[in-house]
Amino acid sequence: MKKTAFLFLLISAFTFAQTSLLEQKIHSILKNKKATVGVSVLGFENGFKYDKNSDKKLPMQSVFKFHITAAVLNSVDQGKLSLDQKIVLNQSNLLENTWSPLRDKYPAGNVEIPLSEVIEYTVAKSDNNGCDILLKLLGGTQTVQKFMNSKGVKGFQIKYNEEAMHKDWKVQYENYSTTKSAVDVLKKFYDGKLLSKKSTDYLMQVMLSTSTGLNKMVEQLPKNTPVARKTGASGKNSAGLTGAENEIGIITLPNGKHYAIAVFVSNSMETDAVNCRMISDISKEVWEYFNK
C-alpha cells in the first residue's frame, strides 16, 4: 500500500473514531430525556457533518426571526426598503402580553425609529412585536417563504406571525424547520448566497450581539467566543409541555475556522432548565470535538 493511501486510511479511521465518540457523548446527554431533540452540525471548512433527527420538522419559534430578517435585508438589497427608513411605533403594533424589549423602551409609542433598530431588537433581543412589524412590512409570511424557496432552502415552512402563535399553541407547529435546513441556511448565509456582502456583514454583527439564551449555546464555551446566533422558545402550556427550546448559530474557532450548529428541543416534558442544559451540553461537546 502506498504511503499516501495508508495515511488517508489512518486519518479516516481517526475521524470516524472521533465522530463516534461525539455521537456517544450526545447520546449520553439525551438519554432518558422526555423530549424530541434534533441536532445538526456542519463544519464550514472541513465539511464535517453530524445529524440526529435532522429531518424531523420541528417548531422554530423565534429562530424564524433569522429567516424573516434575511428576507427584509433582501428587500433592502433590492432597494425596496432602507435601513434608515422610519417605522412608526404605536399602540397597534406594540402589543401587550408578549416579549417586547422594544415596547419596554417606548411604552407610550407615538415615535418613529429606523428600520435598523427594529431589526436589531428583533434578532438580538428576540422582540416579538418587532418581528411582526417586519412581517407586515414584507407583506406577510408568504414573502419569507418565497425568498427561502428561491434560495433553495429545504425543510422550512413559515405560515404564522408571533401574534397568531400567542393566540393558538398549535400553530407554532406550522412554522417548522429541520435542523439540517437550519445549518444549511446558515452556511448559505455565511457564503454570501442569501444576501449582499453589506447585508451579510450587518446581520452577522447583529447576531453576534444576541443577548437572549445565555444559558444555552454559549453557556459553556470560552468567554468571548464569537457566536452569531438566534434563539427560540415556546415556554410551557397548561399540561407542562414545551413546544420548542431552540438555538442555531455560527461559531468561530480559535484557529479562524467555523461551524454551524442547530439544536431543537421539541415536545419536551423536561423542566426549562433541563431543556436549556441539553443545548448547552451539546454545544460544549461539539466545541471540544472541533478543538481536539
> Does 50 have pLDDT greater than 50?
yes
> Does 13 have pLDDT greater than 60?
no
Predicted confidence band of residue 18 (pLDDT cuts 50, 70, 90): low
Predicted confidence band of residue 12 (pLDDT cuts 50, 70, 90): very low
> Does 8 have pLDDT greater than 90?
no
CA 96 to each of CA 68, 93, 163: distance values in angstroms, whole numbers, following the listed order: 22, 9, 10
CA 287 to each of CA 3, 146, 182, 192, 280: distance values in angstroms, whole numbers, following the listed order: 32, 34, 18, 24, 11
> Does 5 have pLDDT greater than 60?
no
Mean pLDDT score, 73-81: 98
Q: How many CB atoms lie within 10 A of CB 273?
A: 9
Distance CA 63, CA 167 (A): 19
Distance CA 50, CA 81 (A): 38
Retrieve residue 159's grid coordinates: 405560515
Q: In 3D, which of 164, 174, 121, 155 has the Cα closest to residue 262?
A: 155
Mean of the per-residue pLDDT values of the chain: 94
> Does 120 have pLDDT greater than 70?
yes
Predicted confidence band of residue 3 (pLDDT cuts 50, 70, 90): low
Tell me the pairing of strands 111-114 and 227-233.
unpaired
> Does 4 have pLDDT greater than 80?
no
CATH no., domain 34-291: 3.40.710.10
Q: How many CB atoms lie within 10 A of CB 19?
A: 15
Active site residues: 62, 162
> Does 182 have pLDDT greater than 80?
yes
Q: 217 near 63, Cβ under 8 Å? A: no
Retrieve residue 156's grid coordinates: 422550512
Coil, strand or helix: which one is 181?
helix
Distance CA 195, CA 241 (A): 37
> Does 19 have pLDDT greater than 60?
yes
> Does 1 have pLDDT greater than 70?
no
pLDDT: is 10 or 200 the higher one? 200
Which residues contact residue 18 at a Cβ distance below 8 angstroms, ignoring those fewer than 6 apart? 289, 292
Q: What sign for the dihedral angle of Cα 102, 106, 112, 117?
A: negative
Which amino acid, one-letter code, is at 66? Answer: F
Q: What pLDDT is recorded for position 20? A: 83
Q: What pLDDT is recorded for position 279? A: 98
Coil, strand or helix: which one is 134?
helix
- For the chain, what is the total number of helices (H) and then of strands (E)? 10, 10
Domain boundaries, the chain: 34-291
Retrieve residue 196's grid coordinates: 449582499
Q: What pLDDT is recorded for position 14? A: 45
CA 127 to each of CA 71, 130, 197: distance values in angstroms, whole numbers, following the listed order: 17, 5, 25
- 238-256 per-position pLDDT tens digit: 999 999 999 999 999 999 9
Retrieve residue 174's grid coordinates: 406550522
Distance CA 220, CA 143 (A): 37
